């Protein structure tokens, strides 16, 4: 974050009264945010020698931008984490990132049970948030991150959340590619409506508007009604949402034509229905851009606002200039246009690695530098792509990935559960929801029973199944193996019946 911090400090010297953040507390000027960033940087410098790695509670407010700039001024790396993270998630972040300092609200510090001996309080910043630094007073240095500038947890497709390490050059490339594609100009307000604790939201909701010189217009808690009002009131020019959220906006009473100020809205991160998106964009008076991206290779495709509905909403964009997406067969051989294969990507926004034990574990790429995304894709004759599902077993609920194997393991550990199968059931707004078919050894377990056990096991709430059905046996195929297709059909039928 060094370059961004230097740019904003210089810009604040020329135009300190420019509004850089609009959040629940009001409008905040560039001069104000830079001044607060310098206060944090000074305290970091006094508590730690060397460039620090700082774990920051990312909320959708001026605080996250000020913290990012402060870390940049110290030449450090910022790792962002949700204030709603469970203690188990915080513990994983400590294990993987090994931060030199933690900045979070008193409530989050209490929930995470931050070790006061290992990380004593160095002072308060950002209006009452404690800054805790390692007791040794020595930062481990950022050389260990091989050029990484930001880290965030992603739900991923495995049981353990992955801490994705991205470079500042990747953030700038993805941000500038989006600016060019949408046609944004300096000063355009940008909406930060999704939590800034993900790499993508940090890149496109915080770094992009700061780099562009526009206001970051923040929503601290998702509400379709509040989002429509916020976007309209502040004449936001662009924002990014998962399809669920975008569709919800069109259901707000009185929202007809309310988003005409948007040059476009980017939608991605979950199952999409082209007809539903077209209906919603016509209602709202804007244009949706259907994209494909991932934390490991930021925002790497997009269509243009000027393209047809068929291209904008029926496909998943074209790769950014300099990025290549290809489909390969089971042996890794590139397939011709029109054929479905395993998606691979290579480009300037490819990540540094996954944080493990305080250092990045480099991505596993092919000999020619392509990263397997885990998706099935088709590259069309015109260079657009279509993503056609996942290679691995995941449920994508409202843009968040839920690993089926992880949830099944958590459910199988509940006393009285003999067998369990977790499957997606379709949902018009969220794309998919998680349903569990459970064979019980004794008394049948219901949804409330299962959720009580998962809460006690500290399983993050977004991974909990929304439907639980006690069944006498799981569907099987001819050779006695689990029939997941049959399980999906059964769960979908039960969900439609309203029993859960």
**Could you give the CA distance from residue 486 to residue 1 in angstroms, rounded to a whole number?**
49
- CATH architecture, domain defined by 394-496: 2-Layer Sandwich (3.30)
Backbone angles phi and psi of 225, in degrees to 5: -65, -45
pLDDT digits (tens, 9 = 90+) for 434-446: 999 998 877 888 8
Helix 404-412 and helix 447-456: axis angle, to 10°?
Answer: 100
Confidence of residue 155 (pLDDT cuts 50, 70, 90): low
What are the start and end residues of each CATH 3.40.50.12780 domain in the chain?
A: 2-385
Q: Is 349 helix (H, G, I), strand (E, B) or coil?
A: coil
Mean pLDDT of 152-180: 87
pLDDT digits (tens, 9 = 90+) for 53-98: 999 999 999 999 999 999 999 999 999 999 999 899 999 999 999 9
**Could you give the CA distance from residue 297 to residue 174 in angstroms, rounded to a whole number?**
9
Share of the chain above pLDDT 90, in %: 74
Q: What pLDDT, on the 0 to 100 scale, is given for residue 359?
A: 97
Q: Is 153 helix (H, G, I), strand (E, B) or coil?
A: strand
Q: What pLDDT, on the 0 to 100 scale, is given for residue 473?
A: 84
On the question of pLDDT at 391 being above 70, the answer is no
Its pTM stands at: 0.82
pLDDT digits (tens, 9 = 90+) for 295-349: 999 989 999 999 999 999 999 999 999 999 999 998 999 999 999 899 999 999 9
The token pair that represents 328 in the structure block: 């390969």
On the question of pLDDT at 387 being above 90, the answer is no
**Could you give the CA distance from residue 282 to residue 288 in angstroms, rounded to a whole number?**
10
**Could you give the CA distance from residue 373 to residue 327 in angstroms, rounded to a whole number?**
10
Q: Does domain 2-385 have CATH number 3.90.10.10?
A: no
For residue 150, what are the β-bridge partners?
A: 78, 166
pLDDT digits (tens, 9 = 90+) for 175-205: 999 999 999 999 999 999 999 999 999 999 9
Q: Is 225 left (phi over 0), alpha (psi -120 to 50) or beta?
A: alpha
Confidence of residue 211 (pLDDT cuts 50, 70, 90): very high
**Could you give the CA distance from residue 78 to residue 70 in angstroms, rounded to a whole number?**
9
Q: What pLDDT, on the 0 to 100 scale, is given for residue 368?
A: 96
Q: What pLDDT, on the 0 to 100 scale, is given for residue 390?
A: 65
What are the start and end residues of each CATH 3.30.300.30 domain in the chain?
A: 394-496
């Amino acid at each position: 974050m060094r370059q961004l911090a230097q740019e904003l400090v210089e810009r604040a010297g020329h135009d300190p009264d420019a509004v850089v953040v609009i959040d629940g507390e009001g409008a905040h000027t560039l001069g104000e945010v830079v001044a607060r960033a310098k206060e944090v940087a000074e305290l970091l410098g006094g508590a730690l020698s060397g460039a620090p790695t700082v774990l920051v509670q990312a909320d959708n407010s001026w605080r996250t931008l000020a913290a990012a700039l402060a870390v940049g001024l110290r030449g450090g790396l910022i790792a962002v984490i949700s204030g709603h993270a469970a203690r188990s998630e915080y513990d994983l972040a400590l294990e993987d990132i090994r931060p030199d300092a933690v900045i979070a609200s008193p409530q989050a510090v209490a929930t995470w049970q931050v070790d006061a001996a290992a990380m004593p309080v160095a002072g308060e910043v950002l209006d009452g948030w404690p800054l805790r630094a390692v007791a040794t007073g020595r930062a481990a240095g950022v050389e260990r991150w091989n050029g990484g500038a930001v880290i965030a947890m992603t739900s991923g497709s495995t049981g353990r959340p992955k801490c994705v390490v991205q470079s500042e050059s990747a953030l700038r490339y993805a941000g500038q590619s989006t600016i060019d594609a949408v046609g944004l100009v300096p000063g355009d307000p940008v909406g930060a409506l999704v939590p800034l604790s993900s790499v993508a939201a940090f890149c496109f909701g915080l770094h992009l508007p700061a780099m562009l010189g526009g206001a970051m217009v923040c929503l601290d808690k998702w509400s379709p009604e509040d989002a429509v009002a916020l976007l309209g009131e502040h004449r936001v020019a662009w924002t990014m949402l998962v399809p669920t959220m975008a569709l919800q906006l069109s259901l707000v009473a009185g929202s007809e034509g309310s988003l005409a100020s948007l040059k476009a809205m980017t939608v991605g991160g979950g199952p999409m229905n082209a007809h539903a998106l077209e209906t919603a964009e016509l209602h709202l008076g804007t244009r949706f851009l259907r994209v494909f991206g991932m934390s490991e290779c930021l925002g790497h495709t997009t269509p243009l606002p000027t393209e047809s509905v068929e291209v904008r909403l029926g496909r998943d964009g074209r790769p950014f200039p300099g990025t290549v997406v290809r489909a390969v067969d089971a042996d890794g051989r590139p397939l011709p246009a029109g054929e479905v294969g395993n998606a691979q990507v290579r480009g300037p926004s490819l990540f540094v690695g996954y944080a493990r034990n305080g250092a990045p574990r480099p991505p596993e790429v092919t000999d020619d530098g392509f990263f397997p995304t885990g998706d099935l894709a088709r590259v069309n004759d015109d260079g657009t792509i279509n993503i056609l599902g996942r290679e691995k077993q995941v449920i994508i609920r409202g843009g968040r990935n839920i690993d089926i194997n992880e949830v099944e393991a958590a459910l199988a550990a509940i006393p009285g559960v003999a067998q369990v199968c977790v499957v997606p059931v379709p949902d018009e707004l969220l794309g998919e929801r998680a349903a569990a078919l459970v064979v019980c050894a004794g008394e049948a377990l219901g949804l409330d029973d299962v959720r009580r056990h998962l809460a006690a096991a500290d399983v993050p709430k977004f991974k909990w199944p929304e439907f639980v059905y006690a069944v006498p046996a799981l569907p099987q195929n001819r050779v006695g193996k689990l029939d997941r297709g049959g399980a999906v059909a059964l769960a979908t039928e039960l969900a439609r019946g309203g029993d859960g």
